Amino acid sequence: MTAAGPLSPLTLEQYRAKLEARGLVLDPASHERHLLGNVVAPSTPAEREAPAVTDTIQGRPGALPVLYLSLDVLQGLDVYTTARNLARGSEELNPLVRPVAGNPWAMTAVKSVSTAASIYVAERLWRKHRVAAVALTVASNVLIGAVVAQNATDPAR
């Protein structure tokens, strides 16, 4: 059996081995609980010192990955609505994006880097400032959502 890379899907045996290495055991009584990531409580003092596993995605609240996805979708909508408005005679108001606004591929690259940077910063914050990580991601979504809403109501349409 080969070791799975960080993005490789794990087999059930690999998943169990990872949990057991952390002192956690899958609850064999419920397949649904396994799929959700529930585990049986550790029974020895050494196992109790292991980090807790919760019903979340890698310890993050379930909303955080959804916020990451929505940020990505909103950035895509921003590229689309900006390109549409530029084709209709509007001009890009953001001075940081203005140089690449006429090229959808370059704009997509800038937006992709921006999204990746936001997610990276949120993940770094998550380690010690969990509320700030969620707040940053929510604020990013609200900001880009407002830009998309503004683009959708552009008067040059």
Residue 24, SS3? Answer: coil
- Our CA angle for 129, 25, 23, nearest 5°, is 60
**What tens digit of pLDDT does each residue of 22-75 get?**
666 555 544 444 444 444 445 555 545 544 434 345 566 677 888 999 999 999
Query: Whole-prediction pTM value?
Result: 0.60
Q: Which residue has the tokens 């609850």?
A: 27
Listed in order, strand segments (DSSP E) in 37-136 are 39-40
What is the residue-averaged pLDDT of the chain? 76
